[in-house]
Structure 1
Amino acid sequence: MIFNQRHLLYALRQYEAFYNEHRPHQGIANARPLTPLPEPIADPNRLAHLNIHRHDRLGGILHEYKHVA
């Protein structure tokens, strides 16, 4: 629910950042528009020990997932 113009602008900025910086794009080999493709993980041992953290945006409507070193 959007309460006023300030809240609407905040929600639009959050969605724009999510869309351009994080969200995978299915039509472009899952590449984000503003960043290059990451190197693929070919080592099976690394796949077994992935440490992934989730960050919620817009009160949990949008979710970002990142690998943690």
Structure 2
Amino acid sequence: MKHKSILHKLTAALLCCTLCGTGMTVPAFSADDESELPAKFDLRDEGAVTSVKQQYGGTCGVYSCMAAIESN
């Protein structure tokens, strides 16, 4: 059990470092913008989505960290 606790703490620390160190910001948006939204928008068409991965038990923290890194 001690190994799992250390892994969880390490994953949490890595996630915090990733989120803080990458300079994640909220994009500027104005509700007053009159431009029209497209009828369809798919990130796969933009090439911004990675392939599906085989995720085994206990690795969700690692995959969430990698997703944060890939999407930034």
State TM-score, norm by structure 2.
0.39
Structure 1 or 2: larger helix share?
2
Structure 1 or 2: larger strand share?
1
Instruction: Name the larger-Rg structure.
Output: 2
State TM-score, norm by structure 1.
0.40
